[in-house]
């Protein structure tokens, strides 16, 4: 049989105009740092240097917080919800108009396939602004305040720290609800993926957003720490590792600062013997290989009922031989580059430990590019619950397979982790879906699907996956006060 190959279908990078260096976005304009430290952001697919990025000092963070405070007191905190909504609608429309530019930039800086940046990240980012624009003038009717109590009011200045896996989307999850509720923000993007946040700063200028409402300070962990420790911040919203989340919670413990933390996960994707197997296989692939597995809610633990284990694994392996790994800018690519050398090391380390602990490793044959950071789609079978690969977040394209016999056993195994962010259930029986959803300690439970996101739906964790919700009406709660404290 002749094998049909896909012809390359590269997206053009000429739609983006990357500057050689970027300053900090404070008070509505790009400004220089008080220090002189900078770092390079690179394309993880090629290791090409894309731009020189300013590392914000504690003084820069202080300037940004002051600019946010001034904008809060002078303009944004007292603007009507209807007027705030107009700005958010404007930003949403600009994101749509410039969607292609954002998608290409995200793919270059992050390494994710262009088809995911184009079809998931950027449309969802715009959708978050549209959704929250609609709330801005309806907060009084959102049921946020107790009956007869004071109406919801903004909290003030919010410090926001985001990770590198969905750079613009995480920015929109943070900034859209904060602004809709009347707060101003200082946001720190991840060190390895600052470019779309800096392009978003241009969108804020284009939308004539009042200066200081959004401030963007680039840098690494120290800049994030300076923001978290700044006494002028009223609330911290963080997405990232559980370790840093715990450090943030310790820093603000005993202060008046509020926090929402969206941390790690180790989701179980549970396949029962009555599930439509081909559909489930697609869901397993989407669950763990979407965005190279750099997803906090990734279905990284496949729990499959023993009676269908062999069939599911056979079909899964066959499906994985069709996955195309390579140039993220090629529209046919399914699996792009690992975001950084450090992340690649972590994936390699945990995979090596899994093998040493006795799990069986399998990857389809695939040619990985010689430059850049790459890891093939990998499946570990024969995984025991005590294996580190079954307990720790790999944050890469690595699936661990475990088995179960009864629904009770599936629940016990699924819940046997310190995390509780998401889970998936594949079965023909509606009653079983409802029973499982009730038993699983996870903030999101998907049934016969996986990794579905919508701004109207609250997202967040149980246990060490964090607290607070993002999205939906519940997501507004973290950005308003209804008490007498503000």
- Footprint of ligand NDP on this chain (CB under 6 A)? 161-165, 188, 190-191, 220-221, 224-225, 228, 239-241, 244, 247-248, 263-264, 296, 343, 346, 393, 395
CB closer to ligand NDP, 70 vs 251: 251
Give me the catalytic one of 296, 393, 464, 470: 296
Query: What DSSP letter does each residue of 332-399 carry, written as one string?
Result: T-SB---S-HHHHHHHHHHHHHHHHTTPEEE----PPPSSS-----EEEES--TTSHHHHS---SSEE
CB closer to ligand NDP, 174 vs 225: 225
Catalytic site residue 181? no
Catalytic site residue 202? no
CB closer to ligand NDP, 465 vs 481: 465
CB closer to ligand NDP, 218 vs 481: 218
The distance of closest approach from Cβ of residue 408 to ligand NDP in the complex, given in angstroms and rounded to an integer, is 29
Q: How many CB atoms lie within 10 A of CB 28?
A: 19
In angstroms, how far is the first alpha carbon of the chain from the final one?
71
The distance of closest approach from Cβ of residue 80 to ligand NDP in the complex, given in angstroms and rounded to an integer, is 33
Interacting residues of 32 by C-beta distance below 8 A, sequence separation 6+? 23, 24, 54
Interacting residues of 88 by C-beta distance below 8 A, sequence separation 6+? 129, 130, 132, 133, 136, 176, 179, 180
The distance of closest approach from Cβ of residue 416 to ligand NDP in the complex, given in angstroms and rounded to an integer, is 19
DSSP 187: E
The distance of closest approach from Cβ of residue 248 to ligand NDP in the complex, given in angstroms and rounded to an integer, is 6
Please answer whether residues 326 and 369 qualify as being in contact, where contact means their C-beta atoms are separated by less than 8 angstroms: yes
At 277, is the secondary structure helix, strand, or coil? helix
Q: In what order do the strands lie in the sheet with 258-262?
A: 29-31, 24-26, 214-216, 184-188, 157-161, 235-239, 258-262, 466-467
The distance of closest approach from Cβ of residue 165 to ligand NDP in the complex, given in angstroms and rounded to an integer, is 5
CB closer to ligand NDP, 94 vs 175: 175
Give me the catalytic one of 11, 55, 262, 464: 262
Specify the pairing of strand 422-426 against strand 444-447.
parallel
Q: Among all residues, which ones are annotated catalytic?
A: 262, 296
């Amino acid at each position: 049989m002749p094998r049909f190959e896909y012809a390359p279908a590269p997206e053009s990078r000429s739609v983006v105009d990357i500057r050689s260096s970027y300053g900090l976005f404070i008070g509505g304009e790009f400004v220089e740092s008080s220090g002189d430290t900078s770092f390079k952001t690179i394309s993880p697919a090629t290791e090409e240097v894309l731009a020189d990025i300013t590392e914000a000092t504690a003084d820069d963070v202080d300037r940004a917080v002051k600019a946010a405070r001034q904008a809060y007191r002078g303009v944004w905190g007292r603007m009507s919800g209807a007027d705030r909504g107009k700005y958010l609608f404007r930003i949403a429309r600009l994101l749509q108009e410039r969607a292609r530019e954002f998608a290409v930039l995200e793919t270059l800086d992050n390494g994710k396939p262009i088809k995911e940046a184009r079809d998931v990240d950027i449309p969802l980012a715009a959708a978050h602004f549209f959704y929250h624009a609609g709330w801005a003038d309806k907060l009084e009717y959102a049921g946020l305040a107790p009956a007869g109590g004071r109406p919801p009011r903004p909290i003030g200045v919010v410090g926001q720290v985001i990770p590198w896996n969905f750079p613009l989307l995480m920015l929109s999850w943070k900034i859209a609800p904060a602004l809709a509720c009347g707060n101003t923000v200082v946001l720190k993007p991840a060190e390895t993926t600052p470019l779309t946040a800096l392009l978003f700063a241009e969108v804020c200028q284009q939308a004539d957003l009042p200066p200081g409402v959004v401030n963007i300070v680039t840098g690494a962990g120290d800049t994030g720490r300076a923001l978290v420790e700044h006494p002028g911040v009223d609330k911290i919203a963080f997405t990232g590792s559980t370790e840093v989340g715990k450090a943030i919670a310790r820093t603000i413990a005993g202060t008046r600062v509020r926090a929402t933390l969206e941390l790690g996960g180790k989701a179980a994707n549970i396949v029962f013997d009555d599930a439509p197997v081909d559909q489930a296989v697609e869901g397993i692939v989407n669950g763990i290989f979407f965005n190279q597995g750099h997803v906090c809610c990734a279905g990284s633990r496949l729990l499959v009922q023993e009676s269908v284990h062999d069939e599911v694994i056979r079909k899964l392996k066959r499906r994985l031989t069709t996955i195309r790994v390579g140039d993220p800018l090629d529209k046919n690519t399914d699996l792009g580059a690992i975001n950084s050398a450090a992340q690649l090391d972590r994936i390699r380390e945990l995979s090596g430990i899994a093998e040493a602990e006795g799990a069986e490793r399998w990857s389809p044959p695939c040619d990985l590019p010689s430059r850049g950071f790459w890891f093939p789609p990998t499946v570990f079978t024969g995984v025991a619950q005590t294996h580190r690969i079954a307990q720790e977040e790999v944050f890469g394209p690595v699936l661990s397979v475990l088995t179960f016999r009864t629904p009770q056993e599936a629940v016990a195994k699924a819940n046997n982790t310190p995390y509780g962010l998401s889970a998936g259930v594949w079965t023909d029986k509606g009653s079983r879906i409802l029973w499982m959803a009730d038993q699983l300690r996870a903030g999101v439970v998907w049934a016969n699907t996986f990794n579905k996101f919508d701004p109207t739906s609250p997202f967040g964790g149980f246990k060490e996956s964090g607290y607070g919700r993002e999205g939906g009406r519940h997501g507004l709660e973290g950005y308003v006060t209804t008490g007498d404290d503000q």
